[in-house]
Chains A and B, each alone.
Chain A
Amino acid sequence: MSQEISDEALCRRVAEGDEQAFDELVTRYQGRAYRIAWGILREAEDARDVAQDAFVRLYEAAGRFRGEARFSTWFYRIVVNLCLEHRRRGRWWRALVVRDVAERDGARLDRLPAPAPDPLDGASQAQLMTRVWAAVEGLSSRQRAALLLSVQEELSTSEIAAVLDCAEATVRVHLHRAVMALRRSMAETG
């Protein structure tokens, strides 16, 4: 399938039952969906599950995509909503079990970012990243989602507002509080 076909056109084809178009959208967005989900959930397995669910929802809801926003914004909204729902469902019991087992086994690799690809990054850089991500983990789900969509996915404030279904001013507040919390956390651990 040609790369020239827009995401929006592919989504319309999916609404008509075009499996090949669906496959192409999965190829284009699987990495991003997983990355966003992992950023919010910080569990690789949960992130995979949510990203897969997001594509199932996409397939079922493609007919409701009106094309008023970009496809990416619409799809990110599905992903983020599923992440927030996932966290709301309250997995406190699971967190206890997983944490207990993982800490006993010393196997919390899934919660850690992948190693930095830049070989010039030294140990201090790695330590800094570990601290940053520990601080990010302390943010609320919405703050984290706003921050990651802004910084890593480079969405504009208005796009983030569309994804989170809130006002742009609210996004600014989320971002401000996220940054303030990170600064406080970094200062405390520094």
Chain B
Amino acid sequence: MTADGPEHVELAFVPYLRGELPRDERDTVETHLAVCPPCRRGLAETRALLDAVRRAPAAPALDVGRFRAGLEARRRRHRPAWMRPVPALAAAGLVAALVLLALQPAPRDADDHLAAVQETVLGARLGLLEQYPVVERLDLLEDMEVIGALDGLAATGS
């Protein structure tokens, strides 16, 4: 290794300054530095630069509360679909369907089969019940049943 040849030791500056070089390599670097003013100057500049980078306060302050809230939101988005909360509309539809089923009169023995068919049909229409405007107007259908019954009474009474 010569002082003015192409074999300067700049590539070893950082590991040398960090004390990472094995003994033999470190000796080689120091032998070269002893006879190479450009490398000594380069080493001094490198040391000053690394010190400056080390001392420079790196990032703007982190708002930990905002960070944790953002992280939680990100984790929610990454959860598998089956772990996500059921959308409110679908839940409302399901509850309405269950309530309707509970309010159905108990099927007579003879009608057991028919009731099972009705439940199957209703189950297939749960998607419709998830639409809130439809669920919201189910009471109108009940009103129409009452009006129909009153009409029937009026007809028999007259």
Contact = CB atoms under 8 A, between A and B. Distances in A.
A50 B46 CA distance: 30
Interface residues of A, number: 47
A109 interface: yes
A112 B15 CA distance: 29
B49 A183 contact: yes
Given A44-B59, A112-B60, A179-B49, A151 B20 contact: no
Contacts of A35: 58-59
Q: Would you call the interface of chain B mostly helix, strand, loop, or mixed?
A: helix
Interface in A138-167: 147-148, 150-152, 156-157
B57 A114 contact: yes
A161 B6 CA distance: 26
B68 interface: yes
Interface string A30-72: 1100110011000010011101110110011000000000000
Interface of A: 26, 30-31, 34-35, 38-39, 44, 47-49, 51-53, 55-56, 59-60, 109-110, 112-117, 128-129, 132-133, 136, 147-148, 150-152, 156-157, 172-173, 175-176, 179-180, 182-183, 186
Interface of B: 10-15, 18, 20, 42, 45-46, 49-50, 52-62, 64, 66-68, 70-71, 74-75, 78
